[in-house]
Amino acid sequence: MPQTTKLLVSPSQAGTRLDIFVAAAFPEASRSAVRRWIDSGAVTVDGKVRKAGHALRPQESISVTPPPPRPVELEPEAIPLNVVFEDHSLVVIDKPAGLVVHPGAGNRQGTLANALLHHLQKVSRSQSIRPGIVHRLDKGTSGLLVVAKNESVHQGLATQFKQRQVEKRYLALVLGRPEHGQGRIEVPLGRHPRQRTRMSTQSRSPRQALTEYRILRRFLEFTLVEVRLHTGRTHQIRVHFEHLGHPVAGDPTYTARRRFPLSPSTQKALKGLNRPFLHAAGLAFDHPVTSKRLRFESPLPRELAEFLSSLE
């Protein structure tokens, strides 16, 4: 049964178009999908259906009941997977950078979902099984992902993520040298008010986001940090460190507007990195069936380890 989300318009959000407000609250949905929700009556303002261009007023109550997502016909593809752990209930994958997790516009094939479908059908010999991907990593981010093999396990894992019982540890190399050896970044995030592919701390409908970090090693022009996520917002680490003034090395989306006085040799090295220096190195959760606490570690991929060595 579709779940209804209720939102309240704050004074600072007054005058925002209804479609922009809803799109900011649901960053995983496209703008065209939000327009379909509004046109179909799945979005109401104080109990009434309004047009997408409706200008919101303070204290108006927005109810959003997204329809079930349109089914995407996945084609199994024999893409090699690095399987870290697998049993009858779930599988833990070490995803390489460059692999998109979910199919979408322009990415109908060659995704992790396609690879998982092939893997799971091969293991189960069933044509009906579908990968239950519980969380995501950006295309350029490598590291650990857990995938459910059935709906009950999927729900159990999703509950743990929602209740913040899952431990997620990342390694990131950031530009510059943060002042403090450790810290918390507690700045709400949401869809960028003008650029839909970006997230921002200046969103019209931000959501709580908490990132903790500690410095592992300082280099001349970079800093290696260990990051722990307490929320799972899109691009959270990348946006939070950009907000600090220390964006992730190799991330073109959140460093293009900032300039750093890097040496010519460092600039040359960054051009050869070809990906953000961000790796999901640790993952821990309770097995939904056995209740046993499972912990997994992933070493830095070779290209990131070699880049660190080049900074010595």
Summary mean pLDDT of the chain: 88
- pLDDT, position 259: 63
Q: What is the mean pLDDT of residues 55-63?
A: 95
Tell whether the model's pLDDT for residue 126 goes beyond 50. Answer: no
Asked if 46 is an active-site residue, the reply is: no
Percent of the chain with pLDDT over 70: 90
Mapping DSSP onto H, E and C, the string for the chain reads CCCCEEEECCHHHCCCEHHHHHHHHCCCCCHHHHHHHHHHCCEEECCEECCCCCECCCCCEEEECCCCCCCCCCCCCCCCCCEEEECCCEEEEEECCCCCCCCECCECCCCHHHHHHHHHHHHHCCCCCCCEECCCCCCCCEEEEEEECCHHHHHHHHHHHHCCCCEEEEEEEEECCCCCCEEEECCCEEECCCCCCCEECCCCCCECCCEEEEEEEECCCEEEEEEEECCCCCCHHHHHHHHHCCCECCCCCCCCCCCCCCCHHHHHHHHHHCCCCEEEEEEEEECCCCCCEEEEECCCCHHHHHHHHHCC
- pLDDT, position 130: 59
- pLDDT, position 127: 44
Domain 168-280 grouped into CATH 3.40.50.10490: no
Domains 71-162 and 168-280 alike in fold: yes
- Catalytic-labelled residue, pool 19, 39, 87, 138: 138
Tens-place pLDDT, residues 33-47: 899 999 999 999 999
Among 79-93, 163-177, 248-262, whose mean pLDDT is lowest? 248-262
Q: What is the mean pLDDT of residues 28-32?
A: 77
**What is the CATH superfamily name and number for domain 5-64?**
RNA-binding S4 domain (3.10.290.10)
- pLDDT, position 205: 77
For the chain, give the number of residues: 312
Confidence of residue 203 (pLDDT cuts 50, 70, 90): confident
Confidence of residue 58 (pLDDT cuts 50, 70, 90): very high
- pLDDT, position 242: 93
- pLDDT, position 228: 97
CATH classification code of 71-162: 3.30.2350.10
Tell whether the model's pLDDT for residue 125 goes beyond 50. Answer: no
- pLDDT, position 285: 98
Most confident of 100-114, 127-141, 267-281: 267-281
- pLDDT, position 261: 67
Tens-place pLDDT, residues 277-299: 999 999 999 999 999 999 999 99
pTM above 0.85, yes or no: no
Percent of the chain with pLDDT over 90: 62
- pLDDT, position 182: 95
Tell whether the model's pLDDT for residue 262 goes beyond 70. Answer: yes
Q: What is the mean pLDDT of residues 147-162?
A: 91
- pLDDT, position 69: 61
Among 37-51, 185-199, 213-227, whose mean pLDDT is lowest? 185-199
Q: Please report, for the chain, the start and end positions of each structural domain, with discontinuous segments joined by +.
A: 5-64, 71-162, 168-280
